[in-house]
């Protein structure tokens, strides 16, 4: 969740600091006071590109800083990028007119792409100008799958489909490849050369170690001789350890255990020094020939340079050439074997894809009912919602093409969700969809910038209650002009603008209960009479209950 936001010299904001509630946070204020600017600052913090136009007039730089609680999904990413964290994530952005801009997470500099990826799909900002992911047809299949909760089956399918596409690619390559005699001669030559080389990854590493030792033989011999001497010589480590063990021969349980531990260390040291003796003796071994080592390493080097591959790559290439030769010699047989394998994998994918299709088709009907129920709660009583599923050729997502269709009024044909008219009705529909899908997602923060525009009265209260229900699992920030929506908030912030002789500046204040009542009365009526205050109290009580 977002714990606090600090903004300095951003647009008409001079300086402000806001602490947030974990539940439903509402923001009210007069038009032009800067409510949407605060949302803009938050949006800029987590995804905006550096733009000097946001810097307050007369200032050299703007600063936006947000403190977020650490979510489980963040931890692996932060560790992989060596970003230290405890229980908070401090994101700080500085935009300077001279071009010196920075993005930091817990004092560690990061790129904008990393920042965007960190919050991708976890913070949802909905504004009147933002069509959001719900309107995008490309997201409808994944939204349906999220509702279906079929991730295990999808994962199984994707793994199988990957194997199938790889096999299909290999088959098509074989089908389209033909080799003339000259090409085959080169293939046979390279294959024989690799076979004769008898390459082995471990051998190359061993040879490289030996070469390194023998090129520094004098240093190795001197160092090893001195080291072994320190252990073996008179009054050396070995002799002193023996004396220590003998000296500790007392009838005491604690000392006896210590003596045993030291004896074990003594024998371990004997084993390790013995290994050093073996290494030392290898430098005088008549069977070792540095010339042969270098000749063998030259074979590795020549082939690696020729094919621009490492040793494992050369081994893989050898197998690849073997398959090409086999294919040329037994083309019809190899193609049939590969085709049979591809067909088998295709049928396995299709079987799983059909299971996924059945689940999607069944759950789509339930999703339609759930969304209709949500729209009815928001007083959209004539909505029709349809999850249109068309079967398509098998692909990475299965065999389904999914798009959401909607009709908002009686007598209207169902249309793609992206084509429905804007305004109060579509805002309510979007809120209904978000009520369903936000609860199924990893979204930690949902921001609504005047999503209630164009509605009033009971509809506004219904929308406020719907946002309140979303806030049970996801922190919600909502900018509103409606008293019924504001009355549902867990925390209420009043945004206002003050003018002085030089400039205007946006300010913010968290309201207490009495101040909330007065603000609700002010929003609902042109005055704050006793009658208006009484009505605001009743509205607040109703909304909170």
By the 10 Å C-beta count (0-12 exposed, 13-18 middle, 19+ buried), 33 is classed as buried
Q: pLDDT confidence of 11, banded at 50, 70, 90?
A: confident
Backbone angles phi, psi at 478, to 5 degrees: -135, 125
pLDDT at residue 199 above 90?
Answer: yes
Q: Which range among 1-15, 65-79, 385-399 has the greatest average pLDDT?
A: 385-399
Kindly state the percentage of the chain with pLDDT values over 70. Answer: 96
Higher model confidence: residue 371 or residue 181?
371
Q: Name 499's Cβ contacts closer than 8 Å, sequence gap at least 6.
A: none
Q: pLDDT confidence of 129, banded at 50, 70, 90?
A: very low
* pLDDT confidence of residue 422: 59
* pLDDT confidence of residue 425: 78
Q: What is the mean pLDDT of the chain?
A: 87
Nearest one of 427, 425, 407, 429 to 416, comparing CA atoms: 407
Tokens 């409606």, located at residue: 482
Residues 507, 487: contact at Cβ < 8 Å? Answer: no
Q: Give per-residue pLDDT as tens, 132-158.
A: 677 788 889 999 999 998 889 999 999
Report pTM: 0.64
pLDDT at residue 128 above 50?
Answer: no
Q: Give per-residue pLDDT as tens, 461-511.
A: 999 999 999 888 889 999 988 899 999 999 999 988 887 767 778 888 899
Strand duo 123-127 + 445-449: pairing: parallel
Residues 56, 9: contact at Cβ < 8 Å? Answer: yes
For the segment 426-452, the average pLDDT, to the nearest whole number, is 84
Q: Give per-residue pLDDT as tens, 283-340.
A: 765 555 778 888 999 999 999 999 999 999 999 999 989 988 887 777 778 788 889 9
pLDDT at residue 131 above 50?
Answer: no
Q: Give per-residue pLDDT as tens, 500-535.
A: 767 778 888 899 999 999 898 888 876 667 888 898
Higher model confidence: residue 536 or residue 340?
340
Q: Give per-residue pLDDT as tens, 251-278.
A: 888 888 888 898 899 899 999 999 998 8
Nearest one of 417, 403, 339, 345 to 375, comparing CA atoms: 417
Residues 63, 7: contact at Cβ < 8 Å? Answer: yes
């Amino acid at each position: 969740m977002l714990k606090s936001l600090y903004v300095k010299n951003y647009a008409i904001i001079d300086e402000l600091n806001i602490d947030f509630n974990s539940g439903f946070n509402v923001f009210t204020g007069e038009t032009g006071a800067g409510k949407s600017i605060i949302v803009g600052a938050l949006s800029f913090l987590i995804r905006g590109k550096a733009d000097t136009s946001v810097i307050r007039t007369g200032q050299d730089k703007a600063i936006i800083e947000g403190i977020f609680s650490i979510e489980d999904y963040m931890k692996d990413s932060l560790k992989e990028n060596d970003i230290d964290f405890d229980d908070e994530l401090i994101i700080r952005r500085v935009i300077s007119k001279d071009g010196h801009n920075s993005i930091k997470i817990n004092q560690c500099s990061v790129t904008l792409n990393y920042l965007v990826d960190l919050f991708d799909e976890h913070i949802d900002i909905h504004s009147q100008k933002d069509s959001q992911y719900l309107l995008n047809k490309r997201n409808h299949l994944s939204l349906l799958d999220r509702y279906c909760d079929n991730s295990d089956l999808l994962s199984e399918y994707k793994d199988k489909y990957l194997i199938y596409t790889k096999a299909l690619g290999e088959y098509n390559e074989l089908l389209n490849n033909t080799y003339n005699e000259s090409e085959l001669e080169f293939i046979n030559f390279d294959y024989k050369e690799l076979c004769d080389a008898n390459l082995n990854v471990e051998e190359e590493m061993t040879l490289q170690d030996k070469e390194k030792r023998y090129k520094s033989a004098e240093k190795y011999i001197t160092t090893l001789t001195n080291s072994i001497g320190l252990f073996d010589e008179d009054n050396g480590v070995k002799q002193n350890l023996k004396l220590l063990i003998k000296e500790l021969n007392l009838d005491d349980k604690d000392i006896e255990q210590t003596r045993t531990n030291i004896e074990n260390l003594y024998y371990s040291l004997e084993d390790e020094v013995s290994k050093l003796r073996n290494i030392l003796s290898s430098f005088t071994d008549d069977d070792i020939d540095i010339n042969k080592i270098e000749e063998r390493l030259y074979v590795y080097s020549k082939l690696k340079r020729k094919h621009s591959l490492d040793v494992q790559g050369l081994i893989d290439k050898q197998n690849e050439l073997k398959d090409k030769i086999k294919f040329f010699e037994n083309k019809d047989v190899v193609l049939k074997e590969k085709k049979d394998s591809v067909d088998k994998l295709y049928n396995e994918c299709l079987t799983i894809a059909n299971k996924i299709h059945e689940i999607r088709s069944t759950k789509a009907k339930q999703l339609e009912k759930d969304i209709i129920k949500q729209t009815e709660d928001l007083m959209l009583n004539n909505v029709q919602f349809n999850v249109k599923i068309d079967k398509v050729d098998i692909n990475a997502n299965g065999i389904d093409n999914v798009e959401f269709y909607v009709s908002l009024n009686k007598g209207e044909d169902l249309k793609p969700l992206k084509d429905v008219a804007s305004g109060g009705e579509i805002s309510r529909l979007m809120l209904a969809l978000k009520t369903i899908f936000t609860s199924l997602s990893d979204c930690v923060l949902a921001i609504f910038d005047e999503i209630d525009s164009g509605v009033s009265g009971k509809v506004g209260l219904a929308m406020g209650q719907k946002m309140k229900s979303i806030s049970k699992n996801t922190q919600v920030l909502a900018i509103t002009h409606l008293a019924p929506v504001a009355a549902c908030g867990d925390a209420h912030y009043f945004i206002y603008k003050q003018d002085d002789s030089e400039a205007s500046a946006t300010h913010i204040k968290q309201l207490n209960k009495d101040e909330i009542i007065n603000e609700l009365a002010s929003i609902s009526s042109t005055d704050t009479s006793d009658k208006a205050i009484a009505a605001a109290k009743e509205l607040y009580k109703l909304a909170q209950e």
